[in-house]
A and B are shown apart, each in its own frame.
Chain A
Amino acid sequence: MLILANIKAAFRSIRSNMASSILTVLMVMIGISSVVVLSALVEGLKQDITSQIETFGTRSIFVVPIDTTNLDNSQFNPTQLFGASSITENDYELVKGDPDILAATKFSALSAVPKAGDKVFNQALLVAGNANFDKASNYTIDQGQMFATDNPLEREVVIGTRVAKALFDTEQAIGKKFMLGRYEYSVVGIYQKQDIGQGQTSPFGGSIDVNSIIVVPYETARRDYGSLQINRIFGQTTVNADPSIVAEHLTAALQKNHGDTKDISVLSAKEILSLLDSVLGSLAAASSGIGAISLLVGGIGIMNIMLVAVTERTREIGIRKAIGATRSAILLQFLVEALVISVLGALIGIGASLGVVAAIGAKTSLSPIITQSSMMLAVSIGMSVGLVFGLIPAIRAARKDPIEALRYE
């Protein structure tokens, strides 16, 4: 049980030098927490968006007003995803009429704040869509029904449960009315509640927070709000078609329709997910880089404190050698000490990360997730840092000449 004896000795040494030990543990802790929290943020983002894309279904396709066929950084202009869109009515007809497309809808974002009496809901996602919006989006209406045409006689809308709750204090809101700008709309359908992250909307149009959505019939919206930009087109392919292939041939068709200008393309759910993977991959790499740098600092801190410890305990090393400690025994002793500090830092870092992640989840709309594997990774990184940066001081200690060490004051 030599390791146990060394661990006990390590704790005693740490305690006797409390102040510097705490500072070193703090350095490792900050390094580890930054790695864990950053990767939790990326993971949370990924899971949010992935689950939302999955609710759209594996057969969904998305038309976006940018060229995604050549998506390396130099050609990717994210501003094209927002603002003026290049999608036309013609494009919509083309998509809708395609034999492999089961249903398609236009999607135009609107801005107005829904108001019911003195209640407002600022976080609504207000859109204009066609009457087959739910067939095209794969979302289920579980109360009431979709509006029958793009231009119903009455002003009808379909909303999500969060909207209902915010405006009417209840999720059973069929028949209730609210104001959008100057006009009053009545609720004819309510989407089934989805258990997804709040308010996450991917700019690629691959996800919608259906609980916060308000869908206004397309022509009604055009009448009430003037000309609309078609921001996206959603659709579902037929059962037998391969969405990736459909997306490819639609992209070619639409770009041809635009006079061979590459300002429009079609993505399948699979492609959006892999796009997401690569964007998040870069994000993950960047955050790993940041984490690695802070861990480096922590490691240097460990090396520093251990070098000082070895010098201060020169006499102790001499005594131990005189009573029979081999070089490896001394090496082990100091290496264990470095490991104890770094593992302690890692464990406290994980604890701190859990707290930080909980706070972020509660206070913002982000939902970071710390996975088991990232916790285990954190501990192993902690151990490696201790091993790597504790090695040189431990070797120094092991090499001390016992006679000179005993003379050291």
Chain B
Amino acid sequence: MNLIELHDINREFRESKTNRLEVLKGINLSIEEGDFVALMGPSGSGKSTLMHIIGLLDRPTSGLYRLHGRDVSELGDAERAHLRAQKIGFVFQTFHLLARLTALENVLLPTMYTHIPQRLKRAKEIARDLGLTDRLNHLPNDLSGGERQRVAIGRALMANPDLILADEPTGNLDSKTGQQIISVLKKLHREGRTIVLVTHDQAVARQADHILSMHDGRITNPERVKAKVR
């Protein structure tokens, strides 16, 4: 079953009245449930923009996006936000934790925006699985890069989403810690979640099931997509 379907997705930015920047050009893509896809490409290839569109943070200029078989262009902003809260987990390169909240409070943050039953219990379980039990009362400033990213992953998991989108999750980490994070993602994948990972790093990308290459707003290896083995 296709979790994500993109047909002819274009994303254009209007820099000024005469200047148009085409960041995504005719993207066609399907990602099955339970897939682990790495998105690779040089700076400016549009991979982050594609991620944002998949994650419902941005709208394409034209084209069709079906999530769980549903055309998302019909959804209003509030519905997209709810969908994000319930079905999608984000992990960012710079972690994006709230500095004034403790690790535990950061993990619990999604509960402000969607109902999660027994949230404290769940948060502590997630934290335990990520090896964070002793660090829960610390502020992000007191945590190492790896710990911060694990907190971010914990936050992403609170609503038990099907889809995890990770934008350069190891970019700010050393290779050893980075690998720890990738192992966590692999474990999440084994639990049945769909992972889409943007990365510069070949070593990281090779650990995914499929690699999509992007250049100049297009996917350069569409045949890889079609030749998925599941």
Contact = CB atoms under 8 A, between A and B. Distances in A.
Nearest to B81: A326
B82 interface: yes
Contacts of B229: none
Nearest to B48: A403
Interface residues of B, number: 26
B96 A406 contact: yes
Contact of A326 (B78, B96, B155): B78
A403 B78 contact: no
B114 interface: yes
Contacts of A318: 96
B23 to A, nearest CB: 12
Interface in B141-182: 155-156, 159
Contact of B110 (A315, A324, A403): A324
A263 interface: no
A322 B113 contact: no
B112 A322 contact: no
A352 to B, nearest CB: 30
Nearest to B111: A5
Contacts of B156: 323
Given A2-B112, A329-B112, A403-B57, A324 B96 contact: no
Given A12-B100, A403-B58, A324 B113 contact: yes
A319 B99 CA distance: 12
A403 B86 CA distance: 19
Nearest to B88: A324
Given A16-B100, A402-B57, A403-B58, A323 B110 contact: yes
A324 B78 contact: no
A309 to B, nearest CB: 12
Interface residues on chain A, size class: 20 to 34
Nearest to B106: A319
Contacts of A315: 96
Q: Give chain A's interface secondary structure class.
A: helix
Q: Which of B58, B78, B98 has the most CB of A within 10 A?
A: B98
Interface in A213-251: none
Contacts of B85: 323-325
A129 to B, nearest CB: 74
A391 to B, nearest CB: 19
Contact of B114 (A316, A320, A321, A324): A324
B100 A323 contact: no
Nearest to A333: B112
Contact of A323 (B77, B84, B101): B84
A326 B109 contact: no
A323 B155 contact: yes
A324 B98 contact: no
A39 to B, nearest CB: 40
B52 interface: yes
A403 B84 CA distance: 14
Nearest to B167: A406
Contacts of A5: 112
A258 interface: no
Contacts of B97: 319
B90 interface: yes
Interface string A289-327: 000000000000000000000000001101111111111
A325 B113 contact: yes
Contact of A322 (B57, B77, B86, B159): B57
A13 B57 CA distance: 26
Nearest to B108: A5
Interface in A1-28: 2, 5, 12-13, 16
Contacts of B57: 321-322, 402-403
Contacts of A16: 100
10 contacts: A2-B112, A5-B112, A12-B101, A316-B98, A319-B97, A324-B82, A324-B84, A326-B82, A329-B81, A403-B57
* 5 interchain residue pairs of minimum CB distance: A324-B85, A324-B113, A326-B81, A326-B78, A324-B84
Interface of B: 52, 55, 57-58, 77-78, 81-82, 84-86, 90, 92, 96-98, 100-101, 109-110, 112-114, 155-156, 159
Interface of A: 2, 5, 12-13, 16, 315-316, 318-329, 402-403, 406
Given A320-B109, A323-B113, 11 more contacts: A16-B100, A322-B55, A322-B90, A323-B84, A323-B110, A324-B84, A325-B112, A326-B78, A329-B112, A402-B57, A406-B96
